[in-house]
Amino acid sequence: MIAPDRLPPLHAVYVFTVVARTLSMSRAAQQLHVTHSAVSRQVRQLEEHLGQPLFERRVRQIALTDAGRRLLADAGPALERLTGATAALRRPQDAVRRVRIHVRASFAQRWLIPRLPDFVAQHPGIAPEVQTSSRAPDKRLGHYDIAVQRGLAGWPAAIEPVAFLQDDLALVAAPALLRRRPVAAPADLAAHVLLEAKTRPDDWRAWLAQVGAPGLRPRGMLAFDHHYLVLQAASDGLGVALAPDSLAASELASGRLAAPLPQLRLAAAPYYLGLAPGADAAAHTLARWLRLQATARPGARGMDDAGS
């Protein structure tokens, strides 16, 4: 049995996760409908309990420490499981409506899942079920209620996809790597290993052509199955990646990644969202919430912002 005095204050852990995802005490206070000082007090209480800082306090901004990143990685899923468990006990199991979402693995891990705890807290009667696959919606095996993917190719005729989220691709790399080998111009990439996702093999060729360096020969190339693996490799200093804003936003905000040449961007195909025929009210609720997230959260532009 765990001694009570070793358990962290649960509410302070929840407040910490909101601050960690927004990287702003003020925005966290707005989301939680409390004062800035109340949020700061909860974070200090948790840091005192753990005996180490969770945030680096900088001028007008904060950043997660290594301890903070580790806690966020564990606390977010744990709170989601706790919320689900208590919600299941409060109401009959058949009252919970499961909504299945079909997405690619990188989008699920880097964009969708970090946002879902907010939805679960707001809608305890709806249980999102994330299904990942590289198949297009018309080739996907099994049933789903909502699908999200880039572009208009591969949608079933029965689904009318709507423009959902627009983002660009830009260079990202670990700050320590960039200090050793700065990238002040595209030609500087010749000193670096370039990281790419096998799911997007043409991105580097297109970007180099767009910036006027089609013949550039990098130090090396490393390919990974998915973009979330590319971003992990970039964070660990293996090389420079060309990553979508929607997937790299959290690492950029936390300082684990930096963006050299931020003005040299490659437009990516927009994401589209489609509801399966006969989707019920729960699926429509989740779809509306997803569209709101695309416009309300940093890291990518909702399609209204993109001028679509």
Q: Are 146 and 159 in contact (CB under 8 A)?
A: no
Burial state string for 229-243 with b = 16 or more CB within 10 A and e = fewer than 16: bbbbbbbeebbbbbb
Identity of the amino acid at 37: S
pLDDT of residue 300: 45
> Which of 254, 275, 56, 271 lies closest to 159, judged by CA?
275
Average pLDDT of each block of 10 consecutive residues along the chain (308 residues)? 65 89 86 86 91 87 89 82 68 74 92 92 92 82 86 89 90 97 96 94 94 95 93 96 91 93 92 91 94 69 42
- When the candidates are 3.40.190.10, 2.70.160.11, 3.20.20.80, 3.30.1490.100, the CATH number that belongs to 91-167+269-302 is 3.40.190.10
Identity of the amino acid at 272: Y
> Which of 64, 244, 222, 225 lies closest to 172, judged by CA?
244
Tell me the per-residue pLDDT of 162-203, one tens digit each, with 9 for 90 and over.
998 888 999 999 999 999 999 999 999 999 999 999 988 899
Print the SS3 string covering 238-307: CCEEEEEHHHHHHHHHHCCCECCCCCCCEECCCEEEEECCCCCHHHHHHHHHHHHHHHHCCCCEECCCCC
pLDDT of residue 298: 47
Tell me the per-residue pLDDT of 207-226, one tens digit each, with 9 for 90 and over.
999 999 999 999 999 999 98
As a whole number, the mean pLDDT across the chain is 87
- Name the region of 142 (left: φ>0; alpha: ψ -120 to 50; beta: rest): left
Q: Torsion angle of alpha carbons 161, 290, 164, 148, nearest 10°?
A: -50
Helix 36-50, helix 10-22: angle, nearest 10: 110
pLDDT of residue 25: 87
Structure tokens at 292: 């709101």
Q: Are 63 and 23 in contact (CB under 8 A)?
A: yes
Q: Do 91-167+269-302 and 168-267 come out as alike in CATH topology? A: yes
| Gap between the Cα atoms of 283 and 146, Å rounded | 7
> Which of 193, 191, 183, 262 lies closest to 223, judged by CA?
193
| Gap between the Cα atoms of 41 and 38, Å rounded | 5
Q: 4-74: which CATH architecture?
A: Orthogonal Bundle (1.10)
pLDDT of residue 179: 96
Domains of the chain, by residue range, sit at 4-74, 91-167+269-302, 168-267
Rg of the chain on CA atoms, in Å: 21
Pairing of strands 266-267, 220-224: unpaired
Q: How many CB atoms lie within 10 A of CB 191?
A: 13
| Gap between the Cα atoms of 293 and 301, Å rounded | 10
The domain made up of 168-267 is a member of CATH 3.40.190.10: yes
